[in-house]
């Protein structure tokens, strides 16, 4: 089984790829290596995966919002499942560079849904965000809570991702799981995401062909991943 991991050079993506590779699963990682935070950190993560796992790990530096480049890179590689973690992150940055979010989080997400459809993958897990709760003041957050009042463009793109994924799951019967990450932290995190507190873990899952999980951050980002059949 080969699993496609987007955002493989990111903090969560690298940790997920590491866990999968340690289990003996082949991973095809992609990342556009943008400079939202130091690229040197991203390259160090990829180099570590390549050094530790050799031929089990394949990496392509590309922008998954470019469908032609994405299809060309995947042409000779069978893909059984997708873990789509790549995105343009950050609430505040969306105020000054909205087009980056439209390209990566909307057009790029549709491209990944199309890959899932064309390849008939067994499962697609994708990163949403706790930001979708927006103006919701009901605590603790639950999957069942309304998430139709985003207060940032970033949140709006992530909510759109959930809706598009639900549609693809319904139309093409692709099992999908959305993860509403809070602030995920730990050793090796990017400087922009480091924090000094330990939030409680809280999970709520809706079991259906397409499901969304709400989960607080944890020192091990792998613990937030679930699957829906």
Q: Which residues are catalytic?
A: 154
**Measured distance CA(84)–CA(178) in Å, rounded:** 10
Q: What CA–CA distance (Å, rounded) separates 83 from 39? A: 22
Helix (H, G, I), strand (E, B) or coil at 37: coil
DSSP single-letter state for residue 102: I
125 close to 132: Cβ distance less than 8 angstroms: no
What is the longest distance spanned by two Cα atoms in the chain?
A: 48
Which residue has 């390209």 as its token pair? 103
- Cα(218)–Cα(198) distance, rounded to whole angstroms? 8
- Report the DSSP pairing between strands 57-61 and 81-84: unpaired
Strands (E), the chain: 2-6, 26-31, 57-61, 81-84, 123-129, 176-181, 203-205, 210-215
- Which residues are CB-contacts of 187 (< 8 A; sequence separation ≥ 6)? none
- Please name the helix (run of DSSP H) or strand (run of DSSP E) that holds residue 19, with its range, or none: helix 11-22
Cα 8 from Cα 168, distance rounded (Å): 24
């Amino acid at each position: 089984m080969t699993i496609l991991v987007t955002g493989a050079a990111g903090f969560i993506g690298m940790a997920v790829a590491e866990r999968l590779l340690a289990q003996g699963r082949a991973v095809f990682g992609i990342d556009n290596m943008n400079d939202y935070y130091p690229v040197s950190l991203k390259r160090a993560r990829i180099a570590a995966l390549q050094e530790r796992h050799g031929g089990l790990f394949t990496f392509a530096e590309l922008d998954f919002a470019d469908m032609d480049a994405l299809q060309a890179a995947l042409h000779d590689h069978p893909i059984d499942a997708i873990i789509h973690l790549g995105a343009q992150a950050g609430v505040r940055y969306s105020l000054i560079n909205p087009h980056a979010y439209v390209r990566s989080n909307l057009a790029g997400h549709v491209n990944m849904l199309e890959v899932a459809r064309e390849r008939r993958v067994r499962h697609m897990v994708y990163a949403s965000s706790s930001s979708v709760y927006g103006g919701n003041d009901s605590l603790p957050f639950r999957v069942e809570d309304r998430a139709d009042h985003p207060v940032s463009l970033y949140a709006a793109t992530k909510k759109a991702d959930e809706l598009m994924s639900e549609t693809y799951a319904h139309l093409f019967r692709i099992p999908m799981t959305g993860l509403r990450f809070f602030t995920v932290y730990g050793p090796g995190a990017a400087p922009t995401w480091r924090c000094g507190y330990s939030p409680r873990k809280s999970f709520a899952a809706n079991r259906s062909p397409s499901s969304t999980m709400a989960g607080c951050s944890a020192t091990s980002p792998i613990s937030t991943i679930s699957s829906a059949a």
